Each structure stands twice: as structure tokens, then as C-alpha cells.
Structure 1
Amino acid sequence: MRALAEFILRGRLQATAVALIGNWVPLLTPATVALVTLRVGRNNGLLILLWGVLPSLLLLGFSQIAPAVATAVVGGVLLTYGAALFLRRGSGWATCLMGIVAVATLMAVLLGALAPDAVQAALQSWNQLLEELASSVDASVSSYSATFVLGMLAYGMAFPAALGLMLGRWWHSLVDNPGGFGAEFQALKLHPIQAVTSMAAAVYCLFQGLDYALWSALFLLPLVLQGVAMVHRLVAIKGLGVQWLFVFYAVLILLEPATQLLAVLAFLDTWLNFRERATPRA
């Protein structure tokens, strides 16, 4: 990974090439934009951003749902760029993550208001896909509303933006401060007001039905990432092997309730300070 980071930082041509390739490799484009922005500055980061999202912008005229898809892709990279600027200026991780969620929400709402036709086209395609999948296994399926599609777009912007920012920051630390990202990430902790806001919004959406499921996941995202940071820190304090992290991620990916449980534990960690209470294993 360090070799890739050094290659990206070798010059604009190299960074542009990686950002373009990132349109076919998950997280590569936002991570490249984050790395260049953090290491070189906003102007160079903006230039790599523009090249990185060019393929998505060129697809706008190819179908009715393209505007919605392009908005998600471009919006995610823009969120990464903006968060990297704030991180470069000294803002904390909690503020950056909450900002990503807030701006993703605003962008999705604006898309629903300014381009309802694109949202409806995406909704029709989604419902049609679900119906085809259901008919192939002889099952019934419920239709979703535009609220679900907007939640999908908002989450589709925020999630890769947050992970891309983290990956870019990790690459940055490999070049300039080896090991620094680990300590920085493991200290991630929301302010109590941020934690309450995140949890309250997620719980509200959770009780609104399936159309709000991804909205709930969106608002829980900062707490989930705090929970991941907490687990990493506890594993480090206890001196446990990396295999425990593999098990943790496997459970997190395969069992959906595990994500919600992790968010609850992170919410409690805001006040109970599990990491500060932990002691090294004897």
C-alpha cells in the first residue's frame, strides 16, 4: 500500500491515472483524492477530483437513471474532498464524519426536489429489479418509494466517502507518519451531542418502515465507525492477535444486527469510556 501511495504522490499524471482507474475499483478514487488533498493541498486535490469523476459525468446522457447514479458517485468523491480539507485543517474525525452524513443528507434531499424524474426513474428500475428477482424464486416483494431511493443515494455517497477518507489518511500516514493513523483512528469518539443526534435520527428512521432503513443506517454510520475504532483499540490494549479482528469483521459483514449492536456499544462508550477502562491482558 505504501508503494501505491508513493506512486500517487509522484505527480499529477500518476494520481490522475489511479483516480480514473478507481472508477472500476471501489474506494480507489475517493482515497486518491483524499491522499492528494491531505498531502499536497486543495488545488491539486480538486484537479484529481475532476479527472476522477469525469467518467461518471460522461454517462449522464446514457439513461434516465444515470443522473441519480452519477450524483451518488460524484457526490461521494466531493464529500471525501471536503472532509479531507477539514481534516487537513485540524478538524477531528468525529466532526468530519458527522459533516459527511449531514451533507450527504442535504444532497439527497436536493436531488429529490430538483430532479424528481431521475429519482422516479431510479425507483422504477429498482422495483422492477426486485420483482424480477422475486419471480425467479417464486416469492413476493414489497414496492419501495422515492424515500428509499433517496436514502440509498445518501448512504451510497456517505459510506464510500467515509471509507475513502480513512483509506487516504492511512496512505498519508504510511508516507509521512508510519503508524500514526492507527493511534488517530483508535481515538475516534463522538461528542455526546453528536452521539445523541446520530442515535436519535437513526432510531426515528428505524420505526418509520422499510423505506427509511438506509436512512437509519446512514445516521448510524458515525457511531458504527466509532465502534470499529473502539474494537481496534481494545484489541490493541489486550494484546490480542489480528485473527480477532478478522472474526470481528466477518461477524459485522455477515450478521446485520451486529452493526446495530456495535452502534449501541459505541453510543454507550461516549459516556462509559470502555477504552479508558480497559487494562492490558496479564
Structure 2
Amino acid sequence: MKGRLQAVAVAGLGIGSLMFAWVGAAAAALVTLRKGMTEGAFVVFWALLPAIAVLSYGQDVGPLCMLLVSAVAAEVLRSSRSWPLALCAAVVGGLVSALILYHSAQDYLAGILATVQPMLDQLQTQSRGQLPQILTGDIAAVIGSSTVLWSGLALMLARWWQALLYNPGGFREEMWSLRLPAVVTVVLVAAMLLFSQAGEVYRFWGVMCLLPLIAAGLSLVHGLVGRLALGRVWLVVFYIALLLFGPLWAVLILAAIVDSWIDIRRRLPTAQ
């Protein structure tokens, strides 16, 4: 926020480091959130140089996709002031990224598949052939899902930075109140069902539609804990359970879907 040079340096170094690429994307998103599309585009343009270098020499398209999608999502959040729309923009960005890769970069996807094939063969042996054969469309889905996830996290980090600088406590209020409109939930669920029925190539693409539902579910949990003044220990227990029990993710998503229709937080009393 001190100037263009500092913003470009943080974004470029983060994108070029791979491990901290999402931090670099968050820096570009922060400029977009605070100063608008023109300033944000300037930072994104210069951050594209290390992103393209990583793609050319490191054969990793992730930082490039993450940078562009998080910047678009930041602009959507800035202009609409709507987290559901911003998260949906990240989903659309992930889907577009996967689609472009699948139709324009089959050699790239095939190279990744060849790299991980020995591990997949080992898993197939351990499962006695019960796992589905992995296709290049599945690799595109993984890249798209990763783009959605890390772009969403970068946007949240940028919004948290913005709140720390200009509106302390604002990020927590936004996250506690995040709730998907019913129409958005219907579109996301319908998209997942359509992808699941669109053939082998697109069988895992619906996973990209889960991010807004998961974010809304986590927001619901945090909002309930805060509203009822239960204390942070409940959140610690919840996240440990989420890591240990896989079916709890399905319950979280279902809770987000139900909340989009009945607004659970509004129906509960506030702790005195």
C-alpha cells in the first residue's frame, strides 16, 4: 500500500517463489480491492512476468492461473461487495482454466500424468484395480480445483490484510455472516450434477463448485460459535474432527445448502 514498486515486488517475488505464490496473488488482489482495477492490473501485469517464467522453465501453470483468477475475484468482490459472487467468480475462473488446458494443452496434461503414473499404478495395485483410470481430463480438473482453492484463499488473505489496515474486525464480521443465496446454491449443485453426468472427461470437474459451499459451511460454524459465545476450543475440536472424519465434510456442505434456504444463524438467539 506504500506504492507501486512495493506492491509489484511482493507480488512478483511471491509468484516466482512457487511456495508463496498465493501470497503474491494476495498482494495483487489487495491492490485491486483497495485501489481498483487500474492499479490492480498494473501489479498483475508485472507479476505475470515471473508467472510466465515459472510456466516456461518450471512447467507449472498454477501461479499464472492463481494470479489471474484471484485478481478477477478481487474485482468482483470490490464492485459487488458480495463474497458469494466473488467465490463464484473463482469457480468460473477455475473451470475456464481447466477447459483451456484440456483443449489447448494436452501435451502439458499428458506430461503431468506421465510423471504421477508410477504412483497411480502403485495405488491401483494396492486397491486391486478398483480405482478408476486417471485421464488427462482428471488432471485438468485437479489444476482447476487447485486454482479455485488457492485463489479463494489468496482473496481471503487480501481481504484480511485490508481489514487490518483500514477496518479492524471487518474481515471476521464478513466471514461470520457469509451465506450463499438460495439461487447460487441451486446453480452450484446443478453444475455438479451436470458435470457428473457429462462423461469420463468431466467426472471430477464438479469438485470446483464445492469451494463456495465449503466456505459457507465454515462460515456457518464460526458464526454459530461466535453468536453463542462458545469459545475457540469448540472451533479447535471441530477442525480436528473435520480432519479425522471424512464424512463430516458432507455434513458441512449439506449444512451450507440448508442454511442458504432457512438462514440458521438468524433463527438462533444471541448469547448474553
TM value normalised by structure 1? 0.84
1:255 is aligned to 2:219? no
Contact 1:224 1:266 in 2 (8 A): yes
Tell me which of 8, 14, 18 is aligned to 2:10: 18
Distance 1:251 1:208 in 2: 34
Instruction: Please identify, of 45-54 and 191-200, the stretch whose mean Cα deviation from structure 2 is larger.
Output: 45-54
- Give the deviation of 1:73 after TM superposition: 2.0
Residue identity matched to 2:87: L
Where do 1:78-227 residues align within 5 Å? 78-131=68-121, 143-203=133-193, 205=195, 214-227=204-217
- Cα deviation, residue 250, structure 1: 2.7
Q: Structure 1 residues 57 and 129, CA, compared in 2 at 3 Å: closer, same or farther?
A: farther
Aligned-residue offset at 1:268: 0.4
Specify the SS of the correspondent of 1:143: coil
State how far apart, in whole Å, the 2-side matches of 1:52 and 1:132 are: 39
Alignment of 1:31-46 (within 5 A): 31-46=26-41
- What is the CA deviation profile of residues 221-253 of structure 1, one whole-angstrom value per residue up to 9, with x for unaligned ones? 111111111111111100121222222223334
Q: Which moved more, 1:25-34 or 1:262-271?
A: 25-34
CA distance in structure 1 between the partners assigned to 2:143 and 2:184 by the alignment: 23
Unaligned 5+ segments in structure 2 are none
Structure 1 window deviating more from structure 2 (113-122 vs 228-237): it is 113-122
State how far apart, in whole Å, the 2-side matches of 1:138 and 1:190 are. 38
User: C-alpha distance in 2, partners of 1:118/1:89?
Assistant: 35
**What code does the residue aligned with 1:76 have?**
M
Residues 110-156 of structure 1: CA deviation (Å, up to 9, x unaligned): 22112222222222223234336778x89766530122111101101
- Give the percent of matched residue pairs that are identical in Structure 1 and Structure 2: 31
| Residues 155, 214 of structure 1: 8 Å contact kept | no
Letter in 2 for 1:42: M
Note closer, same or farther for the CA distance 1:138–1:99 as it changes in structure 2 (3 Å cut): closer
In structure 2, distance between residues paired with 1:167 and 1:231 = 19
Amino acid at match of 1:265: A
Gap change, CA 1:157 and 1:231, over 3 Å in 2: same
Deviations 1:21-80 (A, max 9, x none): 4233252112111111111222332232233343331133447xx2xx31x321121111
Counterpart mapping for 1:226-241 below 5 A: 226-241=216-231
Structure 2: how far apart are the matches of 1:237 and 1:209?
Answer: 44
* Contact preservation (8 Å) 2:10, 2:24: yes
Return the alpha-carbon distance in structure 2 between the equivalents of residues 21 and 245 of structure 1: 34
Residue 268 of structure 1 is matched in structure 2 by 258
Contact (CA 8 Å) 2:76, 2:89: kept in 1 or not? no
Unaligned runs of 5+ in 1: 1-8
Distance 2:235 2:204 in 1: 26
SS of aligned partner of 2:20: coil
- When structure 1 is superposed on structure 2, of 251-260 and 103-112 the one drifting more is 251-260
Stretch deviating more after TM superposition (139-148 or 169-178): 139-148
Distance in 2 between the 1:93 and 1:42 partners?
A: 18
* Whole-angstrom CA distance in 2 between matches of 1:208 and 1:264: 23
Q: Secondary structure at the match of 1:29?
A: helix
Q: CA deviation at 1:175?
A: 0.9
